[in-house]
Amino acid sequence: MPETPSSLPRQTETDSGDPPQSAGSQQQELGRRFGMRDGLYQAVTQGGGEQYLSAFALLVHATPLHLSILSAMPQLLGVWAQLVSVKVSHWFPSRRSQIFWGIAGQSASWIPILALPLLWPELGPWLLIAGVALYFTFTHFTSPAWNSLVIDQLDSNERGMYFAQRSRVMALTSFLALGLGGIVLTVFEHRQLLWIGFAVMFLTAGFCRSASLFSLVKVCDIPHHKSTDNPTGFRVFIRTGISKDFRQFLLFSSLMHLAVLMTAPFFVIYMLRDLHLAYWEYGSWLAAGIIGQFVTLPAWGQFGDRFGNKALLTFTGLLVPILPMLYLLSTAWGFLVAVNFFGGVVWAGLGLGLNNYVFDSVQPTDRAKAVAISSTVNAIGWALGTLIGSWLISSVPASLQLGALDLHPASNLPFLFFLSGVLRLIVSASLLRTFHEPRVVEFHAHHRLLWELPLLKPLRQLSFRRR
C-alpha cells in the first residue's frame, strides 16, 4: 500500500500439527525454494505490473470513482474466489495442481488488462476494472492452497524469518522492476507512445508470473492434514473453530484496511495530477517504500519470531497512523520520498504481523479456512474504505483556516489523508489491547522492546560501541 536476523530462541511448546518430515528433508527444501522463486517472479509482476495499474487507469481516462472501484471490486471478487477455492479444493488431485491453474490464470489475465481498454477506449476504465478483477480472482483462488502448501514446509518457529527473507527478496526485485518500469514509461512518454510502454511492462509481467510454473513442477505435495474432530464447514469453523483473540484480530485487521483504503487509491492522483510529478519521480516515490521494506524485513521477522506477532502489530499499528498525516506538511519531492521510505519500514512490519498472526492462531488443518476468512474480512474493509474515500473526496474542503493557521494544499487530498490517519489511530488505540499473542514467546515491557525495533536497534548497538 503506497504512502504499500540473528539466532532465535526455540519455542518451549511444539506445534503438534506440523508435518512429520524433518526440517532439512529434501522435499521440504524443494518446497521452500519454490516459495522463494515464486516470490521473485511474483515481485517482477507486482513492481512492473500491479504498481502501475493506477497510472494506466489515468491513461484510459479513469475518474476517482473508477479508481475506487478498481481498488475495491477486484478484492471483493478475489475473496469470493478464496472461499470457492477452499470449497472446491477436493476437485484437484493436489494443492500443487490447484496452484498451477491459479498461476496460469494470473499470467493470462494480463492480456485482457492491456488489450481491452485500448481496443474499446470509450469503455476503457470499466474494461480495465474487469480485467484486473479477473487477475485478482485467480490470485486469490491460488492463495489458500499456496499458503497451506508452503506453511507445511516450515517449522512453527521459523515462519517469521522465512517469510521475512522471502519478502525481502520480493522487495528488492520489485524495486528493480519498479525502477525499470518508470524508465520505460518515461522513454515512451517522450515519444508520445506511452501505451507501448505499458504494453511492454504488462506483457513482461504476465510472462514472469508464468515462470513460477517451472519451479512448481519440482514440488511434491505433502498430503493434506487429516481432519478428526476439527470443524470442516466455514459456518461451523467461524462459530467454534476460532478463538476470541482471533475474532478481535480479524476486527482490527478489517477496520485497519478500511482506514487505509480510504486514501490508498488516490495517491496516484495526488502525485501525477495535483503535484505533476514525472513518471520517474512517481516511480522513485514508490521505490522508496520498497527500499524501506527491504532494509527492515529481516529485523521485523526476527522481532516477530522472538517477541511475537502481537508485539509486532502493537508497534506498527501505532506508527501507521502517522504516515498519511505527514503529507499535509510539505509537497517537496525529497520529503515525499522520505515519508514513503518510512512508510515502507512500518508496512513491512505490519504486513508481516497480519499474515503470520493468522498462521499462529489456528490449527494446521484450518489454515486454508483461516486465510480465506481473514482475506474476506479484509476485503470487506478494503471495499468499504474505498467507497467512503470516494465519497469524502468530493466533500472534504480544499483549504482550511483555524485562527492563524491557514492551510492551502495542492488539493483536498492531504486533508483526506489526515482523516485516514485519525481513523487508523482510533482503530489501533481501541482494538490492539483486545487480543493476545497465541504462541509462547519472550516477554519484555514495551519500553524495552522499543530498542529492539528495526533502525533503532542498530543505533543503540552503535552507541554502546562508542562508549
Residue 183: per-residue pLDDT = 87
pLDDT in tens, 72-85: 777 677 777 877 88
Q: State the pairing for strand pair 405-407/400-402.
A: antiparallel
Residue 304: per-residue pLDDT = 83
DSSP calls for 221-269: PPPPPPPSSS--SHHHHHHHSS-HHHHHHHHHHHHHHHHHHTTGGGHHI
Q: Are 46 and 206 in contact (CB under 8 A)?
A: no
Dihedral of CA 330/334/335/341: which sign?
positive
Say how far residue 131 (Cα) sits from the centre of its chain.
Answer: 20
Residue 225: per-residue pLDDT = 44
Query: Cα–Cα distance between 191 and 189 in angstroms, integer?
Result: 5
180: which 3 cell numbers?
525499470
DSSP calls for 360-382: HHS-GGGHHHHHHHHHHHHHHHH
Report pTM: 0.67
Count CA atoms within 13 Å of residue 127 on its CB side. Answer: 18
Q: Where are the domains of the chain?
A: 26-222+241-397+406-466
Say how far residue 409 (Cα) sits from the centre of its chain.
Answer: 29
Query: Cα–Cα distance between 367 and 79 in angstroms, integer?
Result: 15
Residue showing cell 480544499: 398
Residue 110: per-residue pLDDT = 92
pLDDT in tens, 378-407: 888 888 898 898 889 888 888 877 777 778
Residue 424: per-residue pLDDT = 96
Rg (CA), the chain: 22
Q: Are 171 and 40 in contact (CB under 8 A)?
A: no
Reported for 253-256, long-range contacts at CB under 8 A and 24+ positions apart, including other chains, are 253/354, 253/374, 253/377, 253/378, 253/381, 254/377, 254/378, 254/380, 254/381, 255/381, 255/427, 255/431, 256/317, 256/320, 256/381, 256/424, 256/427, 256/428
Cα first-last separation, the chain: 40
Residue 8: per-residue pLDDT = 29
**Ranges of the chain with pLDDT below 70:** 1-31, 75, 155-160, 217-241, 444-448, 451-452, 455-467
Say how far residue 421 (Cα) sits from the centre of its chain.
Answer: 18
Residue 159: per-residue pLDDT = 67
Question: Nearest 5°: phi and psi at 407?
Answer: -110, 125
185: which 3 cell numbers?
514509461
Residue 17: per-residue pLDDT = 42
26-222+241-397+406-466 CATH pick, 3.30.300.30, 2.30.130.10, 3.90.280.10, 1.20.1250.20: 1.20.1250.20
Q: Are 240 and 144 in contact (CB under 8 A)?
A: no
Query: Cα–Cα distance between 366 and 231 in angstroms, integer?
Result: 8
Residue 168: per-residue pLDDT = 77
DSSP calls for 83-137: HHHHHTGGGSSSHHHHHHHHHHHHHHHHHHHHHHHHHSGGGHHHHHHHHHHHHHH
| Angle, alpha carbons 109-114-120 (nearest 5°) | 115
